[in-house]
Chains A and B, each alone.
Chain A
Amino acid sequence: MKNARVAYAGAIHQACEFNGQLKLADGRIVDEQDVIWLPPLEPRTVFALGLNYADHAKELAFKAPEEPLAFLKGPNTFIGHRGQTKRPIDATYMHYECELAVVIGKTAKNVKKEEAFEYVCGYTIANDYAIRDYLENYYRPNLKVKNRDTCTPIGPWLVDARDIPDPMNLKLKTYVNGKLTQEGNTSDMIFGIAELIQYFSSFMTLSPGDVILTGTPEGLADTAVGDEITTEIEGIGKLVSTIVSDDIFTKGQDHSHIKIPY
């Protein structure tokens, strides 16, 4: 089953894929062009892996890590399929990162590698944009690079784990305006899904709704305002986002006109 969260006709709905369309929980069947796609889950704790593909580590002139290089992400950064990601005016290098996102389904503590997949409820796709201009050498990668508003599209679908027989052998692809620019396979991860679950759960409790973004293969390239970026993972779907100019976010810096009703 492929599940989604969408806004349609004035409300937020749980939905699932139904013959190429979306079936809302209330029974309505709607066209996927007619909904606003939201992140398919409201992420709780989100881990992101740095340098988890050998080829990407090489690309960045970095020795493959001996321990997973992980950092955490806040909820501000996530947007849904077909959303807008803003590119800061001063950025000179902003790249996409196609990543398999693993969603935890039950409380996990001290999980053995052999049993790790029992704790996965599903998979989705993330595009974890990074702006290398802001990279500083403290608590790297710093939040200014990796925790910006709108810079992590996720979705469209949360695909049930049972529908993905081998998550460690899926093709990943990124297209910029329809042109293939990044290609890899989840089989090239340095730390696989089971090892990552074993690693994190060895020192902290994982909970339902926690997400592990498993890193990206080589093939990163700069993006420009107006570009449509599609990150695709075999069997999971295609996640599209459009790069928009910072200008439209900076108009009317005074927020006093926005009233929050409480």
Chain B
Amino acid sequence: MRALVKARVRLKDSEFSVNVHVSDRHLEMNGKNYELSQVSLDIPITGTVYGTLLNFQGSLEALKEQVHHPPYNQPPIGPVLYIKPRNTFSAFAKPIPLPAGVPELEIGASLGIVISKTATRVKKAQAMDYIEGFTIVNDISIPHESVYRPAVRFKARDGFCPIGPWVVTKDSILDPDCLGIRVYINGELRQENTTANLIRPISRLIEDVTDFMTLNAGDVLLVGVPENAPLAKANDHIRIEIDEIGYLENPIIPEEKLAMEGIS
């Protein structure tokens, strides 16, 4: 992991360009050095968050023969997308609410591509021109078997989409199609993968998505979640680590212990 990257952070009402020392979790803001725990980071994005399903080779392979049988009948042709609505957005260190009666949540570690300008029918070769940078997203789900027609209640609950801690500018990233992703639960490594395993690498994904829908400045496109998403329970501490970007950390807290309104 390289030591120093350029990033944009958002505090309560203002944005700063900062230098981030990823490995020791310090950031330089206005010439001063802060430890990550000293600053209260807000969600670093403003637009719509689009998730991508089955974009890791292993996640599609995990469905095995099922893709040839009902209800799926054939493997997906286009990118499989969904929307994480705004009530799900949550910041670094904010608790993820565990709904009553749900024993465990699925942790969805994903690289988030942050769009810099209106992107319509973008070709692969130009895709990087439309990217501001990258962030870490925890695409939380209530575990569900079928990906045919899942109810929004599995993915759209308040606080089910922590984002951050910052947006690392694309120039600071060596190769976004080769970044290690690791999930730690209570300090224990539970999942490890790399964006080198994407079925649609970043540029191709942007071409295929913007072929039919416009992405706007501030929108975030998730590259997808690796197979074997780990499960976590009440009071677990989740840390998602992506090479060159940093760590996104959130605890899971039973929702009855949280004041739910305005969780983000």
A interface list, Cβ under 8 A from B: 44-45, 47, 67-77, 88, 107, 109, 134, 136-140, 142-144, 147-149, 200, 203-207, 250, 253, 255-256, 258, 260
Contacts and interface: CB of A to CB of B under 8 A. Distances in A.
B54 A138 contact: yes
Given A72-B83, A107-B261, A204-B158, A149 B148 contact: no
Contact of A74 (B76, B122, B213): B213
B26 interface: no
Interface in B199-227: 212-217
6 A-B pairs with least C-beta separation? A72-B83, A45-B85, A143-B81, A138-B80, A76-B214, A203-B153
B261 A44 contact: no
B142 to A, nearest CB: 9
A96 B69 CA distance: 30
B229 to A, nearest CB: 16
B131 to A, nearest CB: 14
Contact of B123 (A45, A149, A253): A253
Given A76-B214, A139-B53, A205 B260 contact: yes
Contacts of A76: 213-216
Contacts of B76: 136, 138
A47 to B, nearest CB: 7
A202 B123 CA distance: 42
A256 B123 CA distance: 11
9 contacts: A71-B152, A77-B213, A88-B212, A109-B260, A138-B53, A143-B212, A149-B213, A204-B157, A260-B118
Nearest to A86: B212
Contact of A143 (B77, B82, B156, B261): B82
Contacts of B82: 71-72, 139, 143
Contacts of B157: 203-204
A200 B157 CA distance: 9
B247 interface: no
Given A74-B48, A260-B117, A139 B214 contact: no
A136 B78 contact: yes
The interface size bin for chain B is 35 or more
B86 interface: yes
Contacts of B117: 260
A149 B50 contact: no
Interface in B147-202: 147-153, 156-158
A223 B78 CA distance: 24
Contacts of B53: 138-139
Nearest to A256: B126
A79 to B, nearest CB: 12
Interface of B: 48, 50, 53-54, 71-74, 76-78, 80-83, 85-88, 99, 117-118, 120-123, 126, 147-153, 156-158, 212-217, 260-263
B118 A74 contact: no
A203 B99 contact: yes
A47 B263 CA distance: 20
B161 to A, nearest CB: 11
B208 to A, nearest CB: 9
Contacts of A75: 48, 216
Given A140-B149, A204-B152, 7 more contacts: A139-B82, A139-B150, A142-B80, A149-B213, A205-B158, A206-B87, A260-B217
Contacts of B213: 74, 76-77, 143, 147-149
Contact of B148 (A68, A73, A88, A137): A137
A47 B152 contact: yes
A67 B261 CA distance: 25
Contacts of B216: 75-76
B202 to A, nearest CB: 18
Nearest to A259: B117
A109 B262 CA distance: 11
A134 B74 CA distance: 13
A71 B153 CA distance: 10
Nearest to B150: A139
A67 B151 CA distance: 8
B69 to A, nearest CB: 10
A109 B215 CA distance: 30
B152 A72 contact: yes
Give the residue among B77, B80, B85 with the most A Cβ atoms within 10 A.
Answer: B85
Contacts of A200: 152
B86 A45 contact: yes
Nearest to A199: B153
Contacts of B158: 204-205
Give the residue among B80, B157, B261 with the most A Cβ atoms within 10 A.
Answer: B80
A138 B86 contact: no
Contact of B261 (A45, A73, A205): A205
A148 B215 CA distance: 11
